[in-house]
């Protein structure tokens, strides 16, 4: 962990001592680490100020506004804010992804991690779902556990990060939820299969109880296989995930939210499988469109040696019979993103974060 600012703060000097004094297994796929949980809590405002000191020479954060989507009367409980984000694995950003218009200086971890943290702290999610996490044990778990989150990480079995020199271990999916808002009832780490074979892609599914309402719901995070030509493979992975989630939610008796980088446009079969599933899912970001039926024009936008890549790949699916989407965070405009696209000095990933506020349907016994 770097010194943040001109002098190392008490917060970060304590954190540095903790990390340097304990050997953490890189391939661990456990829930919480006791040593981080025992550290003193930190104030998110203090951490945000530390990040802003590090980022003082960079352009300010982009302004994004929430769009109110409420169609019914106000809920009787605080909304549950869910954040979905492929944060770009550090090893891939520096070593494999070839963002030809992004200066290498913009990808330096010491500053890029502060941009990531700044985005998370700005939106204050109750539940955070991340993909391409390769700095879980030295950054996200130690910090977010001290902010009150329970943390889970499930690495890919054969992460491409391991092919990069001086990597920080495998990347994978990570999930974080605020312990004062939810109680963990059940947690499953799922290695996705395709054609009955285990694959390199994973998912985490956790059943939580909302402390305020007593209601149960399931939250899942995944990252499906990338690249053109792998459409049938993604479809098989999606079917496997849906089957696992049907079992976990008892056939949708438990409301469900699924966050992920599906690496699939809405025209792909895996998207149709989720749309037509017996779990009665809808994609939250469709609600931003005028007719409520169209996905955003992009959730990732980058320039590689092969050319410009502008795609819609990231989604937040939810049980539309049991949950309402109160609001969703608007996307960056093309003007904000700029001609060099993502990532950049302004924005740390090639994928945009998605954030939604959910409330439980007022009729918990309503059938599918």
Report whether pLDDT(18) > 80: no
pTM here is: 0.90
Of 97-101, 127-131, 233-237, 243-247, which range is least confident? 97-101
Average pLDDT for the chain = 89
pLDDT tens, 285-320? 999 999 999 999 999 999 999 999 999 999 999 999
96 — pLDDT class (breaks 50, 70, 90): confident
pLDDT tens, 29-86? 444 444 555 678 999 999 999 999 999 999 998 999 999 998 766 677 899 999 999 9
Confidence at residue 149, expressed as pLDDT on a 0 to 100 scale: 98
Token code pair at residue 264:
């699939």
**In what side-by-side order are the strands of the sheet with 281-283?**
182-194, 197-210, 216-223, 256-261, 314-319, 281-283
Confidence at residue 5, expressed as pLDDT on a 0 to 100 scale: 36
Query: Stretch 104-128: mean pLDDT, rounded?
Result: 97
H/E element, 98: none
- Closest Cα partner for 302 from 261, 337, 253? 337
Q: Cα(first)–Cα(last) distance of the chain, in Å?
A: 48
Q: Return all residues near 73 (Cβ < 8 A) that are at least 6 apart.
A: 362
Confidence at residue 38, expressed as pLDDT on a 0 to 100 scale: 67
Confidence at residue 22, expressed as pLDDT on a 0 to 100 scale: 33
Token code pair at residue 247:
């079992």
Domain ranges of the chain: 78-360
% pLDDT > 70, the chain = 87
pLDDT tens, 84-93? 999 999 999 9
C-alpha distances out from residue 210 to 147, 185, 227, 349, Å: 18, 10, 37, 31
- Closest Cα partner for 178 from 208, 221, 200, 142? 208
CA distance linking residue 62 with residue 119, whole number of Å: 10
Out of 3.60.10.10, 3.40.605.10, 3.40.50.2300, 3.40.50.300, the CATH code matching 78-360 is 3.60.10.10
Q: What is the DSSP string of 150-199?
A: EEEEEE-TT-GGGGSTT--S--EEEEEEETTTEEEEEEEEEEEEETTEEE
């Amino acid at each position: 962990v770097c010194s943040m600012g001109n002098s190392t703060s008490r917060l970060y000097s304590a954190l540095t001592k903790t990390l340097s004094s304990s050997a953490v297994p890189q391939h661990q796929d456990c829930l919480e680490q006791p040593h981080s949980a025992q550290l003193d809590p930190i104030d998110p405002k203090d951490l945000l100020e530390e990040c802003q000191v590090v980022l003082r020479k960079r352009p300010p954060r982009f302004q994004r506004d929430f769009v109110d989507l409420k169609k019914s009367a106000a809920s009787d409980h605080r909304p549950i804010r869910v954040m979905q984000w492929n944060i770009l694995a550090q090893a891939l950003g520096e070593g494999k992804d070839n963002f030809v218009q992004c200066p290498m200086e913009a990808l330096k971890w010491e500053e890029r991690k502060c941009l990531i943290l700044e985005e998370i702290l700005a939106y204050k999610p109750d539940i955070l779902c991340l993909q391409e996490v390769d700095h879980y044990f030295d950054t996200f778990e130690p910090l977010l556990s001290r902010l009150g989150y329970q943390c889970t990480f499930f690495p890919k079995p054969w992460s491409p990060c391991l092919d990069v020199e001086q990597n920080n271990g495998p990347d994978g999916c990570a999930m974080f939820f605020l312990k004062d808002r939810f109680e963990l009832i059940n947690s499953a780490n799922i290695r996705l299969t395709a054609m009955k074979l285990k694959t390199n892609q994973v998912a985490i599914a956790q059943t939580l109880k909302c402390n305020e309402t007593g209601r149960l719901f399931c939250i899942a995070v995944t990252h499906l296989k990338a690249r053109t030509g792998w459409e049938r493979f993604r479809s098989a992975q999606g079917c496997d995930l849906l089957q696992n989630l049907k079992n976990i939610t008892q056939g949708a008796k438990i409301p469900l939210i699924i966050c992920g980088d599906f690496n699939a446009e809405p025209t792909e079969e895996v998207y149709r499988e989720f749309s037509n599933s017996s779990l009665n899912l809808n994609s939250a970001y469709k609600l931003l469109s005028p007719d409520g039926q169209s996905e955003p024009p992009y959730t990732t936008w980058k320039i590689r040696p092969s050319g410009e890549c502008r795609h819609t790949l990231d989604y937040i699916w939810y049980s539309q019979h049991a949950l309402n989407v109160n609001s969703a965070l608007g996307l960056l405009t093309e003007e904000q993103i700029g001609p060099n696209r993502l990532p950049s000095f302004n924005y740390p990933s090639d994928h945009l974060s998605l954030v939604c506020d959910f409330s439980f349907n007022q009729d918990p016994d309503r059938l599918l």
